[in-house]
Structure 1
Amino acid sequence: MGAAMRRIQAGNALSAFGLGFTVPYLYIYVASVRGLGSFWAGIVLGVFALAALVALLFTGRVIDRRGPLPVLVGAAVTAAVGALCLGLANNLVTVLGSAALLGAGTAVMQPALATMIVWCSGPTSRTRAFAMQFFLQNLGLGIGGLFGGQIVDESRPASFTLLFAIEAGMFLVLAVIALSVKLPRNAAIADARPKGGKGGSGFRAVLGHRAMLQLCVLGFVLFFACYGQFESGLAAYGTEAAGIDPSALGFALAANTAVIVVAQFLVLRFVERRRRSRVIASVGLIWTVAWLFAGYAGLGHGSQTMATAAFVSTYALFGLGEAMLSPTVAPLVADLAPESMVGQYNSAFALVKQMALALGPFVGGPMGATLHGPYIVTFILFSLGITVLALRLGKKLTPAQDQPMLAAPSRVVAVHKSEQVGAAV
């Protein structure tokens, strides 16, 4: 990695570390520590998600006009203010306002960081750059959650204030690191630009680009069927249908993170040499097996030990699929985008992801808790749908987009000096 990429990845890891301190404990903090109850805790989480969705509607165009650097710095400072205010909030109004700032800030960071990674990587190094980002994010979240668990004490509100202060500090560190980055312009790759798309700007251009539109639909299904179920439907199903002890949910999440950390770079060489569409299709099959394991855990009438092992295996298989997706989907978004609209495409995909994460618990939670058989069947079908959608997407991609390692030697790269970008930003 070059110096710019190293700093971007370091900031990415530190911000994930800060998020890990508070994300697992936000509901408890609002409901119990601040005494607002479960209803308002749910509303706060909803405001957090809604603020993220609204912010992402405008983020892409700002990134493409002003550059990702000022957007990232602004988002990091906004998130820091939101985190600090949330840790000090003592009434409903300040809690809601702080959650909105935190949600908007953390959401905007995603496409800004993704665009910076695109600008600092070439067609052949982009896969590894996004794999490293995903690896560091999970490592930071895991370590942050581990340290946060040692600090948090429900009987001491000051311990939660400390958690949010640490999170705010990490966001400010990210802003400082970002300000020290000198961004080179991303490579201009002629054969990775949209073919036959309609003209336009903003989201209209994304909607007019058929391959990107198909990728957004695929992305929605991916996030809805996996991340949208982790802490809602799948957790409810495990405790209600499979009788999993709540403490075992922690082991399941730990298994998921461990597989990602161990497998990320082991699968990278496999992923790099194959078509992206087929890699995504294989993830659908792996997740189908994962849901079959979950079905056995809750519906197989085996021993409690076997049910727990099957349930933990479900999360582990999800982790394997995630490790295969991280160097595949995000680089594909970048390669589909025209050079002048990388921020817009990244923001559109982040918006789709946010919508899936918001709707996933809403749909999966009640099903996982009460409709055990239909829940498993539904998400087996979703996983098989991932395979079908990925294979259909492959027919819309150019060789350079679907398998960049093979197409890289034939590409024409225009290198732009970092000073030009610095002046533009």
Structure 2
Amino acid sequence: MLRRALPRRPEARRILVGTLLSAIGRGLTLPFLFIYLTDVRGLSDPRAGLVIGWYGAVTLALSPLGGTLIDRFGARRVVLPCLLIEAAGTGALALVDSTASAFLVATVMAVGGSAIWSGQNTILASLTDAGERQRVYGLNFALLNLGIGIGGLTSGAIVDIARPATFQLIYLLDAVTYLVPALILLSLPGVGHRLVAAGATDGQASAGGYLTVLRDRPFRRLVIFGLVLTTCGYAQVEVGFTAFAIRVAEVSPRVVAWGLAANTMMIVLAQLLVLRHLEGRSRTGALAAVGGFFAAAWLVLGVAGLVGPEHALLAALAVVACAMIFGFGETMLSPVMPALTNALATDELRGRYNAMSSMIFGISGVIGPVTAGPLIGAADGKIWVALVVGGCLAASLLALSLRPMLTAAQDGRAPARTPDPTPVA
């Protein structure tokens, strides 16, 4: 099954190896930034929150520029320096000793991270044909989660708040892992150059820009779907899920950690099976199902809030079950969303399409955490549950409304036969 999911071209396989190894480094540090800034470096909770929020805001602001540069100069010339900048910023976190230095380092990291994801998606699209992209994007997501899981387990055994050097170590190791995909890309000199559709001139390739992307009615509907789904789904995991589980269901932080671990395990174990099931089936139908799974996950979490501390074991099981159901939905979203984005994209604007798709998560990542806290504090979290469940179901309806706008090939219901994009130096 794994062999079937692997891309045909060896260059794409090497890119996936880079994803796995760099994700291990990301997993080393992902759970600990807030704790590191506050408990180790002495920043107040509000200041640490501002630093993290600043990183997200700068990344979001620079993402459109990243897409433009990818289309104009090729993903290679954008991703390589971004990986190096991100490595430098991550390593510099080990030296942070004040609020000012934390903001400076966060800015450097945001500059580096602003175009990496959209650039790598563009590179994978250039190395795969339309028929295998969905499988490759799904495998890429599974490897990302596997790496993060391995890194998280490793750092959990290393870090100690009483020993700042342990945190410095994991940030330096994370920085080193960013160099791995950079070295892999350097070893593939023919990969990641500017893509120009057959018969297009340089003038045509640069014409239109984001206005052309936004005039694409099916893609515009996909963006609206993505904003609703991620605002009521992904963006609620970091704050909404944790806050509801601890404050309303009153489970321990350890149960939340078990839930996140179960989420990762579900993704790693189920992704390949889901990919096989999705082949030849409607992508919009799969996206509608994602909304259903996310809604079901939040309903189960709502049950944890209803039973509360009086039935602690049941509440804990509901929290873990919520994370697992949510993870299963992720295994459907992760391959379909980028595959559909690139099915709608043209070669000359592929970087911008992928940048806009990445921006969905950035925008919802600002809206979700800001709204989750006040909503969970009202009516014992019932209003929050009702809104996120309703939002996920509304996203399902938006996905179904997209189907008539797509061809059978774009929707994944018919084999797509498109020539491999031709790289232009």
Q: Same fold (TM over 0.5)?
A: yes
Q: Which runs of 5+ in 2 are unaligned?
A: 1-6, 199-205
1:133 to partner: Cα distance? 0.6
Among 325, 334, 344, the residue aligned to 2:342? 334
CA distance in 2, matches of 1:414, 1:258: 34
Amino acid at match of 1:314: C
Partner of 1:194: none
Q: List aligned pairs for 1:119-268, cutoff 5 A.
A: 119-181=126-188, 182-183=190-191, 201-268=208-275
Aligned partners of 1:234 and 1:368 also within 8 Å: no
Partner of 1:390: 399
Aligned-pair RMSD on alpha carbons? Answer: 1.9
CA distance in 1, matches of 2:72, 2:400: 34
CA distance in 2, matches of 1:46, 1:212: 28
Alpha carbons of structure 1 residues 127 and 414: separation in structure 2 relative to 1, 3 Å? closer
CA distance in 1, matches of 2:93, 2:214: 37
Partner of 2:419: 413
CA distance in 1, matches of 2:253, 2:243: 10
Alpha carbons of structure 1 residues 232 and 412: separation in structure 2 relative to 1, 3 Å? closer
**How many residues are paired up?**
408
CA distance in 2, matches of 1:107, 1:21: 20
Q: List aligned pairs for 1:35-114, cutoff 5 A.
A: 35-114=42-121
Residue 316 (str. 1) matches residue 324 (str. 2): yes
CA deviations over 1:201-250 (Å, ceiling 9, x no partner): 22211211111111111111222122211120111111111111111000
Aligned partners of 1:51 and 1:101 also within 8 Å: no
Alpha carbons of structure 1 residues 115 and 318: separation in structure 2 relative to 1, 3 Å? same
Alpha carbons of structure 1 residues 11 and 412: separation in structure 2 relative to 1, 3 Å? closer
Partner of 2:288: 281
1:366 to partner: Cα distance? 2.6
Aligned partners of 1:84 and 1:164 also within 8 Å: yes
1:407 to partner: Cα distance? 3.1
Identity, % of aligned pairs?
Answer: 34
CA deviations over 1:102-144 (Å, ceiling 9, x no partner): 1332232100100000000001111111011100111111111
Partner of 2:385: 376
CA distance in 1, matches of 2:335, 2:360: 18
TM-score (norm 2): 0.92
SS in 1 for 2:415: helix
1:184 to partner: Cα distance? 7.6
1:330 to partner: Cα distance? 0.5
Partner of 2:201: none
Aligned partners of 2:123 and 2:192 also within 8 Å: no
Alpha carbons of structure 1 residues 210 and 122: separation in structure 2 relative to 1, 3 Å? same
CA distance in 2, matches of 1:352, 1:285: 19
1:364 to partner: Cα distance? 1.2
Where does structure 1 differ by over 4 angstroms across 4 or more consecutive aligned residues?
Answer: 184-190
CA distance in 1, matches of 2:149, 2:185: 23
1:187 to partner: Cα distance? 9.8
1:15 to partner: Cα distance? 1.8
Alpha carbons of structure 1 residues 133 and 22: separation in structure 2 relative to 1, 3 Å? same
Amino acid at match of 2:384: Y
CA distance in 2, matches of 1:9, 1:50: 28
Aligned partners of 1:225 and 1:383 also within 8 Å: yes
CA distance in 2, matches of 1:146, 1:9: 21
SS in 1 for 2:335: coil
CA distance in 2, matches of 1:140, 1:69: 23
